[in-house]
Structure 1
Amino acid sequence: MSSILLFFQSRRARLAASALFVLSAALSTPAIQAQQLQTKFGCNLTREADGEKVIYGDTGEFKLDGDRIEALRWESALYRPTHGFECSIDTGDGPQAEVRQDGGKDNWRITLKDPAAARRQRGYDFYDHGMNCSIRLQRDGDRLHVIPSCPALCGSRANFTELSVDLKTGECSYQDK
C-alpha cells in the first residue's frame, strides 16, 4: 500500500513540477514586441506649380515605442520665389500616439492632446485653419508613408506635405497634390 501511495505522491509531484515549469516559462517569455519606429529624415524637391518654381523641404525624427512617443519632430516648408510657408510639430506640442494594426503593416496615428493650446503657443491665431491635427504613419516594409492632416500647427500654410521615406536608404518621394 505504501508503494502505491508513494507512486501517486511522486506522480503528483512530477505533475506539479511540470505545471510550475510551464507557468514559469510562460511568465518569462517576453510579450509580443510593441510596434517600434525609429527614423530621421531630410527631404527636398523642386518642381513647377502654377508657372513658378516651388521648393519643398522637410526634416524630421520619429521615435515611437508602441503608443509611447520618445522623440517627435517634423518641420515641413514650402518656398516660392517671393515667400515661404512652414508647419512644424515636436514633443512640446503635446502629441499622443495610437497604434493601429492593418494586417502585417505597422501604423500609428499622432494627434495633439490640446490642439488649441499648441496653436496658441506657436502664435498661430491669425489664420483660421481649425484645430484639426492628425498625422498617420504607415510602415510598409522599408517604406514609411507620412500622411498629415494637421493644419493646426501651420502658420499661413494649409497643411504639412505628404511624403514617403525609404527607411533603409533615406530616399524621399513627395506625393502629388
Structure 2
Amino acid sequence: MRLPAALLLMVALPVVAQDLDARFSCSTKGSDHGESVIYADAGEMRLHGDKIDAFRWESSLFRSTHGFECSIDDGDGLVAESREVGAGREWRVTLSDAQAARERRGYEFARLPSCSIRLEREGDQLSIKPSCPALCGSRGNFTELSVNLKTGTCQYQE
C-alpha cells in the first residue's frame, strides 16, 4: 500500500514526548560565599503535558552551624504549562497563590508573590531551574541542578 507523500512526512517527523517521569536524589559538597556547604535534593516529578500527576521536591542547604530546607509538592496549588523547545520539551510549574502557600507553611512575613520552576528536558537530561523567593524562609529556596534521567547523575549549578 502506498501512502501519500504528506502522510509519510508526518510519520517521519520526530515526536517530542510531552510526558516527564523523573525521580532523583542528589547531594554534593560546595561553597556558598566562601563557606563550605552541602546541597541535598530529592524529588519526583510526573507531568503529562500541562497536567501534574505528581510533584514533590525537597531542597536543602547545610552549613557547619545550621541548615535550610524547602519543599514543594502538588498540595501547594501548582499549575503547569508545557511547550516544545527545539529538540526538547520545557515545563513551567508555578504556584497558583504563593502567599497562601507561604501562610500554610507558617511564614507570616510577605515575600515576592511568585514561585516558578522551569523544567527543561532534552533527551535524558533534565535541567531544573527554580525561581521561588516566595515559598519558604529567607534564603534562595531551591538549588538549580540538572539530572541525567537514565544514569541518575546530578550536576549542581553554581
Q: Does 2:143 correspond to 1:161? A: yes
The answer to whether the 8 Å contact 2:41/2:57 transfers is yes
Task: Give aligned-pair identity as a percent.
Answer: 59
Q: CA RMSD in A?
A: 1.6
Of the structure 1 ranges 133-142 and 154-163, higher mean CA displacement relative to structure 2 is found in 154-163
1:129 is matched with which residue?
A: 111
Q: Give the distance between the partners of 2:36 and 2:27, measured in 1 at CA.
A: 13
Taking the TM superposition and a 5 Å limit, the aligned residue runs for 1:145-160 are 145-160=127-142
Q: Give 2:96's match in structure 1, choosing from 113, 127, 131.
A: 113
Q: Tell me how far 1:57 sits from its aligned partner.
A: 0.4
Instruction: Provide TM-score, normalisation by structure 1.
Output: 0.77
1:100 is matched with which residue?
A: 83
Q: Give the distance between the partners of 1:149 and 1:48, measured in 2 at CA.
A: 20
Q: Give the distance between the partners of 2:98 and 2:31, measured in 1 at CA.
A: 33
Q: Tell me how far 1:42 sits from its aligned partner.
A: 0.4
5+ unaligned residues in a row in structure 2: which ranges?
A: 1-14
2:46 is matched with which residue?
A: 63
Instruction: Provide TM-score, normalisation by structure 2.
Output: 0.85
The answer to whether the 8 Å contact 2:16/2:89 transfers is no
The answer to whether the 8 Å contact 2:16/2:88 transfers is no
3-state SS of paired residue (1:153):
coil
1:42 is matched with which residue?
A: 25
1:21 is matched with which residue?
A: none
Q: If you compute each CA radius of gyration, which structure gives the higher value, 1 or 2?
A: 1
Could you list the structure 1 runs, at least 4 aligned residues long, displaced by more than 4 angstroms after superposition: none
How many correspondences in the alignment?
144
The answer to whether the 8 Å contact 1:85/1:156 transfers is no
Q: Tell me how far 1:34 sits from its aligned partner.
A: 6.0
Q: Tell me how far 1:153 sits from its aligned partner.
A: 1.4
Task: Mark the CA change 1:47 to 1:65 in structure 2 (over 3 Å): closer, same or farther.
Answer: same
2:122 is matched with which residue?
A: 140
Query: What amino acid maps onto 2:105 in structure 1?
Result: R
Higher helix share: 1
Task: Mark the CA change 1:143 to 1:34 in structure 2 (over 3 Å): closer, same or farther.
Answer: closer
Query: What amino acid maps onto 1:43 in structure 2?
Result: C
Q: Give the distance between the partners of 2:125 and 2:67, measured in 1 at CA.
A: 28
Q: Tell me how far 1:33 sits from its aligned partner.
A: 8.0
2:71 is matched with which residue?
A: 88
The answer to whether the 8 Å contact 2:80/2:92 transfers is yes
Q: Give the distance between the partners of 2:52 and 2:58, measured in 1 at CA.
A: 17
5+ unaligned residues in a row in structure 1: which ranges?
A: 1-31
